Chains A and B, each alone.
Chain A
Amino acid sequence: MTTSTVLAAAGAVSGGEAVTFWILAPLALAGAIGMIAARNAVHSALWLVLTMLSLGVFYVLQAGPFIGMVQIIVYTGAIMMLFLFVLMLVGRDASDSLIEVLRGQRLAAIGLGVGFAGLLGSGVYRATQGTAAIGLEQANAGGNVQGIARLLFTDFVFAFELTAALLITATIGGMILAHVERRKEDKRDQVATMKARFVPGNYPGPKPGPGVFATSSSVATPARLPDGRLSDRSTPDILPVRELTAEETTLKGTEK
């Protein structure tokens, strides 16, 4: 008796399968609802992760361990992670506003959503009621992974290759769109960078820190060069150069 037959015998729902389903199905639904309801974009993504993880376990339960693991690796591991990556780049304050633009839109959406779910659910339920699953044993006869591999590389090899070509095209398209062409003469290699650094007239050392030998430790106070002049290289460009007056720098008499 292999693991797959332990998990899903054809036509019958074992106790373990039923228990796992009734634990995870509400979680999957909660994830779906939470994804819609969450105001923070990252929270939405995490609710969706919960739904996808539950779906992965459902696939494993239904004697499809390979597709279950692929669901977790590809969808939750890679795709949702890329979503999170983008959301985190956008910033954490990107929450939805609660102002309703169309009056009554939310209520209508909830009503229509529940109605659609009811229609779909009852339709699927009536269509599959009393139907026993057949062919599971035959499909998994040589092992689940081997069965999928055989189908992929025999009957569906053309569709498989076509999908691969589509994905490669999309990847290359994405790379071309995101690619910034730089002319060869614009690229500065390490030798050129060093030559530019030591060219006469350019000071090769680090910039002086602001406030060095100055009357204040503020970043707006420029450093003094050894001959007493102020170095404007030491302050950020956006800050105005400011030197304290003698009155400001004298002691205030608050030391004692």
Chain B
Amino acid sequence: MSHTLLAQAPSLTDFGHDPWWLILGKIVFAFLVALLGTLLGVWFERRVVGFMQVRPGPNQLGPFGLLQTLADGLKMAFKEDILPKSADKVIYFFAPAISVICAVTALSVIPFGPMVSVFGHQTPLQVTDVPVAVLVVLALSSMAVYGIVLAGWASGSTYPLLGGLRSSAQLISYEVALGLSIVAVFMLSGTMSTSEIVAAQGNGTQVTLFGTDIWTPGWYAVLLFPSFVVFFISIVGETNRPPFDLPEAESELVAGFMTEYSSLKFALIMLSEYVAMVTMSAFTVTLFFGGWYAPWPISVWSGANTGWWPLLWFFGKVILLVFVFVWLRGTLPRLRYDQLMRLGWKVLIPVSLVWIVALAWFRTIGDWDTRSRLIAIGIPAGIVLIAALFWPNRKPQPQPTLAEQVENRPQGSFPLPPMDLQVPPSPRTRRMVAEREPANVPAGQDSEEV
């Protein structure tokens, strides 16, 4: 990467100079990405899951069944819109809209590409950017919880209420892990603006390890691998995708918070789910996969990160991540509710905290000289080793012998087969063998009767 490429990367000062028609165009573009992402995302998911389950998936409408989602959407619009008698009418009406608005708005701070020229205007391919853009996405995802919770509550029936309660507990828990995993990204990039985080990943970094220079890629998914793992698990929980789709667990709660919804309102809930999947994939690409920067083999070509080409790399990465979402759905069974909570609070959050402290430690001692750096690493490592060595482990229980186990069985248990497993041959078999005529076989070793 050279400086000519870095000049393409927009900074915060490049925003806020667009004419009104350009701003409108960008907003429409982001909205179209969300809608097309849903249309194609549903099709993509059904085709991929179909492939994984050795069946064709939708293949009738349009080429490769591409228009299936459109047809489903039209059908949904003409269905009867049911309003339950016990529903809270206003909130029941607004809840799906809240979900959709939050999911779509988050796309406005996602950088789709570098500075490009649109009718003579130099402008970044991003609707807007603020110094706290990542927090904007977090705020919107925390507001999106309201859509689900209120949809569940306003339906006025039991299954939706249970789904809504589950989702509020789940989303709040996973938001904590999500926020903690992003902290490591802030620490390395030194900014919360999405465009600058992408720019910070543009260059590989040179790390001196044991006297040799090692060239590491700029992607935070590699540099901050533990953060990335926690982040990805959290966004799967945050978007209610399998295996964390507890709020709509159909085997327990019919359809969870959306049980009572039908027609266009149900379509809106569906839309918000898929838009959230696309948005979160784009967010992951931005934070951890270098945003619109070309991946390694393509980045050898000097023109890869200029002009409109980065749009291709960006959406390629997003589609790959959406594939991972679908892959998870096709592979993993749904977690139980207590397993989900245990994973969130007892695994993801402690791992994030320890990782952040370790990272801060490494960044602090990076400025020291070699001797104090060795001491700073050696003393904690020694303490950890000694603690691991003298950690009291559980005393192994003496294994009772087989005879003791048989002795201890309660009265009236099922009869056991004999201990030596020599089953006495049935008398009927013996008679049949005795009565059989000797076979007339030619001499040979192989044809001996067994």
Interface locus among B55-63, B139-147, B241-249, B281-289: B139-147
Are B130 and A3 in contact, with the CB atoms below 8 A? Answer: yes
Chain A proximity mask over B141-167: 1 for CB below 8 Å, otherwise 0: 011011001101100100001001100
Interface locus among B266-274, B303-311, B336-344, B406-414: B406-414
Chain B proximity mask over A119-140: 1 for CB below 8 Å, otherwise 0: 0000000000000000000000
**Quick one: given A88-B164, A88-B165, A145-B132, are A2 and B12 in contact (CB under 8 Å)?**
yes
Are B135 and A81 in contact, with the CB atoms below 8 A? Answer: no
Are B12 and A72 in contact, with the CB atoms below 8 A? Answer: no
In the bound complex, CA of A48 to CA of B150 (Å)? 15
**CB contact between B136 and one of A2, A69, A81 (< 8 Å): that residue:** A69
Which A78-94 residues have C-beta < 8 A from chain B?
78, 81-82, 84-85, 88-89, 92
Query: Does A1 lie at the interface of the complex (its beta carbon under 8 Å from any beta carbon of B)?
Result: yes
Q: Which residues of A contact B412 (CB under 8 A)?
A: 200-201
* CB nearest neighbor in A for B11: A2
**CB contact between A65 and one of B16, B131, B172 (< 8 Å): that residue:** B131
- What distance in Å separates the Cβ of A255 from its nearest Cβ neighbour in chain B? 35
Query: Does B91 lie at the interface of the complex (its beta carbon under 8 Å from any beta carbon of A)?
Result: yes
Query: Does A199 lie at the interface of the complex (its beta carbon under 8 Å from any beta carbon of B)?
Result: yes
- What distance in Å separates the Cβ of B363 from its nearest Cβ neighbour in chain A? 14
Are A70 and B16 in contact, with the CB atoms below 8 A? Answer: no
* CB nearest neighbor in B for A69: B135
Query: Does A66 lie at the interface of the complex (its beta carbon under 8 Å from any beta carbon of B)?
Result: yes
Are B142 and A77 in contact, with the CB atoms below 8 A? Answer: yes
Are B149 and A81 in contact, with the CB atoms below 8 A? Answer: yes
**CB contact between B168 and one of A40, A42, A49, A81 (< 8 Å): that residue:** A81
Query: Does B138 lie at the interface of the complex (its beta carbon under 8 Å from any beta carbon of A)?
Result: yes
In the bound complex, CA of A6 to CA of B136 (Å)? 18
Are A73 and B168 in contact, with the CB atoms below 8 A? Answer: no
**Quick one: given A3-B12, A84-B168, are A78 and B153 in contact (CB under 8 Å)?**
no
**CB contact between A3 and one of B15, B138, B142, B152 (< 8 Å): that residue:** B15
Are B172 and A81 in contact, with the CB atoms below 8 A? Answer: yes
Which B87-137 residues have C-beta < 8 A from chain A?
88, 91, 129-132, 135-136
Q: Which residues of B contact A3 (CB under 8 A)?
A: 12, 15-16, 129-131
Query: Does A143 lie at the interface of the complex (its beta carbon under 8 Å from any beta carbon of B)?
Result: yes
Residues of chain B at interface, number, CB under 8 A: 36
* CB nearest neighbor in B for A77: B142
**CB contact between A84 and one of B138, B149, B411 (< 8 Å): that residue:** B149
Are B131 and A143 in contact, with the CB atoms below 8 A? Answer: yes
Are A69 and B139 in contact, with the CB atoms below 8 A? Answer: yes
Query: Does B169 lie at the interface of the complex (its beta carbon under 8 Å from any beta carbon of A)?
Result: yes
In the bound complex, CA of A56 to CA of B410 (Å)? 67
Q: Which residues of A contact B260 (CB under 8 A)?
A: none
Query: Does B322 lie at the interface of the complex (its beta carbon under 8 Å from any beta carbon of A)?
Result: no
In the bound complex, CA of A199 to CA of B13 (Å)? 74
Query: Does A46 lie at the interface of the complex (its beta carbon under 8 Å from any beta carbon of B)?
Result: yes
Are A76 and B142 in contact, with the CB atoms below 8 A? Answer: yes
Query: Does A62 lie at the interface of the complex (its beta carbon under 8 Å from any beta carbon of B)?
Result: no
Query: Does A216 lie at the interface of the complex (its beta carbon under 8 Å from any beta carbon of B)?
Result: no
Q: Which residues of A contact B131 (CB under 8 A)?
A: 2-4, 65-66, 143-145
- What distance in Å separates the Cβ of B407 from its nearest Cβ neighbour in chain A? 16
Q: Which residues of B contact A81 (CB under 8 A)?
A: 142, 145-146, 149, 168, 172
**CB contact between B153 and one of A6, A65, A73, A88 (< 8 Å): that residue:** A88
Which A28-83 residues have C-beta < 8 A from chain B?
40, 42-43, 46, 49, 56, 65-66, 68-70, 72-73, 76-78, 81-82
Q: Which residues of A contact B129 (CB under 8 A)?
A: 3
Are A6 and B169 in contact, with the CB atoms below 8 A? Answer: no
**CB contact between B192 and one of A84, A89, A145 (< 8 Å): that residue:** A145
Are B161 and A88 in contact, with the CB atoms below 8 A? Answer: yes
In the bound complex, CA of A200 to CA of B410 (Å)? 7
- What distance in Å separates the Cβ of B130 from its nearest Cβ neighbour in chain A? 5
- What distance in Å separates the Cβ of A147 from its nearest Cβ neighbour in chain B? 11
Q: Which residues of A contact B135 (CB under 8 A)?
A: 66, 69-70, 73
In the bound complex, CA of A89 to CA of B156 (Å)? 13
* CB nearest neighbor in A for B129: A3
Are B172 and A78 in contact, with the CB atoms below 8 A? Answer: yes
Contacts beyond the supplied A2-B131, A3-B131, A81-B145: 11 A-B pairs with Cβ under 8 Å:
A2-B12, A66-B135, A69-B135, A69-B136, A69-B139, A76-B142, A84-B149, A88-B165, A89-B165, A200-B410, A200-B412
10 residue pairs of the A-B complex, CB under 8 angstroms, read A3-B12, A3-B16, A42-B88, A66-B131, A69-B135, A76-B142, A78-B175, A88-B161, A92-B156, A144-B131
A-B pairs with lowest CB-CB distance, top 3: A77-B142, A69-B135, A200-B412
